A and B are shown apart, each in its own frame.
Chain A
Amino acid sequence: MAVRTRRRIRVRWFGVAFILLWSLVPIYWTINTSLQTEAQAGGKPSHYLPPTPTLKNYTSLLGGSGAVPDQIRRSTINILVECGAATIVTVLLSTLAAYAFARMTFRGRNVLFYTVLGTMAFPAYTTLIPLYRILGDFGLVNTYTGIVLVYVSGFLPLATWIMYNYLTSLPSAIEEAGQVDGANRIQILWHVLLPLALPGIVSTAIITFLFSWTQFLFPLVLSTDLSTQPLTVVVQALQGQHVVPSTLLSAAGVIAIAVPAVIGLTLNRYIVSGLLSGSVK
């Protein structure tokens, strides 16, 4: 038995080492390249550590004037606005709907609930072309509003599902106490239920924000110029111009993954609980 335990621990450490290398090596390599000069990055064999670490690539992307820094700065503002707005609207609407689904009966409730969940089985790109054409008819292509509407419609089903699971996990006795005090249902939602549901709301918000940040094809189609293009589209466009050196491109990549990486590393507890909410029972 001791032999087997020892072997199991050895297998586990192999697994741990694999997960660490698998997740971190590609990211390390990008950071490593971004801290080198163009000449160093072209060395054969490669430098596995930056020989003379420099932030020059970052300062020339973020500071300074010129087309590229302007694009990076503007698209960073765009992605923050679009992700922030999509997150706020999605969390608000999904919480209200989930409250109704979890705590009230009404005609058409099951039909609507299963229709909303059913849309999750469809790939998001099913509606790519029609959404482009419909938004075009309303003059919403290349506007923040258009992009946020599309994001919200895409993320509402999962957000509603997470909030529904969270609210049904709370005992209803706590609301009955509120009713004794004469509070109406909106007051109960706001003062009693929401504070208790805060972890569920945080999960929903983080997952929605990350999903919005990772979008590429939708904004590629729906944003036609720098006024609304998010960072992901601009960084890819830089890569498409083959004159941009790999060191500068790596720095742009690091900038584009910095926010989701920090969120993923620090708030993963909420991401895991949200993603697994009701998925496997």
Chain B
Amino acid sequence: MTEGQLDAPPVTASATGKPAGPARRPRRRFDPLPYLLVSPLALFIVALALVPAAFTVIESFFRVDALDPPTRFIGLGNFRRLFGDHVVLTSAENTLIYVLIGVGLSTVLGIAMAITLQHKFAGRSALIAILILPWALPGVVEGIVWSGIWNANSGLLNSVLTSLHMIDHYQVFLGRHRWRTIALIELVQVWQITPLSALLVLASLQNIPGDLYEAARLDGCSSWATFRRITLPLARPGIAVAMVQAVIATLNVFDQPYVLNGAASTGSSVMVQTYFISFQNLDFGEGYALSLLITLATLVTSFCVVKLVYRTVEF
């Protein structure tokens, strides 16, 4: 996804103040400066990312329970308990739906928005500012914002549907019907993640040379054929990155179901279950195991998306 090309650093040789000929510096003096510059970063990454990640892997095989000490090795016990817990299994099923709806919808909408913004027009930069607005806001407050739309007593959706005579009385949209609850909660997350998808696809679209469209037009291609044959294939790198960010966000969805669904199992996600298992039941071992499974699922799914979607085209 992110292409970390480390180019040969151009100034190192001259940074010592000497000409860069290899014969002139048979053995360079040890230079402490780069180590000083990167050591705070290295410290943060090791102490607060790598070590905790190792904890997650190791302790998922231990019984770590604040209410049942001491910590002891139990092999696959945590995993076995997870797979025997039907609330966790339901939340895994729910999360699968969150991912399918979220990745699908944010990708389609992202492509549509990027195409809208592909060519310059008056007010385009203002529109980009408005487009990224939902991305910049806290997901938990977005849940509150959208609860005003889904609300059963005073929501915008009920009011509009009643005015249009599509329903004859106010409905309870969230919490009654499982798939409807999940779809409406995921729509709130799609609202948040689509702006980034649109920007990533737009960046790919802007690398497409204009002569390709000119040639397609001279060949008499329809708009749809141009989209299928030029825009879509050449936007694949951007679409792949957009889908990966959507996979990471949706597989780990927490804020929106926590706000709109609370503790009910109707729309609960695996991340919500991790939170309740670890910080309400204080069963850290099982929480570690579930975290580990979510992380592995995220990495594998992201990898598959990149393999399937990412293609660069030479032209």
> Which A residues contact B (CB, under 8 angstroms)?
1, 4, 7-8, 11-12, 15-16, 18-20, 22-27, 29-30, 33, 41-46, 93-94, 96-97, 99-106, 109-110, 112-117, 119-134, 149-150, 152-153, 156-157, 160-161, 168, 172, 175-176, 179, 185-186, 210, 213-217, 220-221, 232-233, 235-236, 239-240, 246, 249-250, 252-253, 256-257, 260-261, 263-266, 268-269, 271-272, 275-276, 278-281
Contact = CB atoms under 8 A, between A and B. Distances in A.
Contacts of A93: 40-41, 44
B53 A127 contact: yes
A1 to B, nearest CB: 8
Contact of A96 (B40, B52, B191): B40
B215 interface: no
A116 B41 contact: yes
Contacts of B102: none
B203 interface: yes
Interface in B167-209: 170, 191, 195-196, 199-200, 203-204, 207
Contact of A30 (B7, B10, B145): B145
A130 B55 CA distance: 6
A253 B2 contact: no
B284 A117 contact: no
Q: Interface residue tally of chain B, by bracket?
A: 35 or more
B140 A278 contact: no
A261 B137 contact: yes
A26 B11 CA distance: 51
Contacts of B6: 101, 109-110, 113
Nearest to B28: A105
A168 B203 CA distance: 20
A20 B131 CA distance: 7
Interface stretch (B72-80, B92-100, B151-159): B151-159
Contacts of B3: 278, 281
Contacts of A175: 11
A161 B203 CA distance: 17
Contact of B291 (A18, A23, A128, A260): A128
A210 B14 CA distance: 39
Given A129-B291, A253-B144, A179 B137 contact: no
Interface string B215-256: 001000001000000000000011001000000100110110
Q: What's the dominant secondary structure at chain B's contact region?
A: helix
Given A15-B112, A42-B153, A97-B37, A271 B136 contact: yes
10 contacts: A11-B116, A29-B156, A30-B145, A104-B37, A109-B38, A116-B45, A126-B292, A236-B258, A279-B2, A280-B204
Contacts of A7: 223
B23 interface: no
Contacts of B61: none
B101 interface: no
Contacts of A101: 6, 38
Contacts of A114: 4
Interface in B116-137: 116-117, 119, 121, 123, 125, 127-137
A217 B291 CA distance: 14
Given A113-B6, A126-B291, A130-B59, 6 more contacts: A15-B116, A23-B133, A25-B156, A29-B149, A220-B275, A268-B129
B130 A161 contact: no
B42 interface: yes
Q: What's the dominant secondary structure at chain A's contact region?
A: helix
Contacts of B49: 119, 122, 127, 153
A235 B41 contact: no
B264 interface: no
Contacts of A252: 144
A280 B238 contact: yes
Nearest to A186: B33
A236 B34 CA distance: 44
Given A29-B156, A44-B170, A280-B203, A104 B9 contact: yes
B166 interface: no
Nearest to B248: A123
Q: Which of B109, B113, B133, B138 has the most CB of A within 10 A?
A: B138
B274 interface: yes
A175 B259 CA distance: 51
Given A123-B251, A232-B138, A217 B275 contact: yes
A109 B34 CA distance: 9
B27 to A, nearest CB: 14
A105 B20 CA distance: 14
B141 A253 contact: yes
Nearest to B279: A221
Contacts of A233: 140
Closest 6 CB pairs of A and B: A15-B116, A264-B136, A153-B48, A130-B52, A130-B55, A127-B52
B51 interface: yes
B45 A115 contact: yes
Contacts of B38: 96-97, 100-101, 109, 112
Contacts of B139: 214, 216
B54 to A, nearest CB: 8
Contact of A45 (B4, B41, B163, B241): B163
B135 A232 contact: no
Contacts of B299: 121-122
Nearest to B260: A239
A214 B143 CA distance: 12
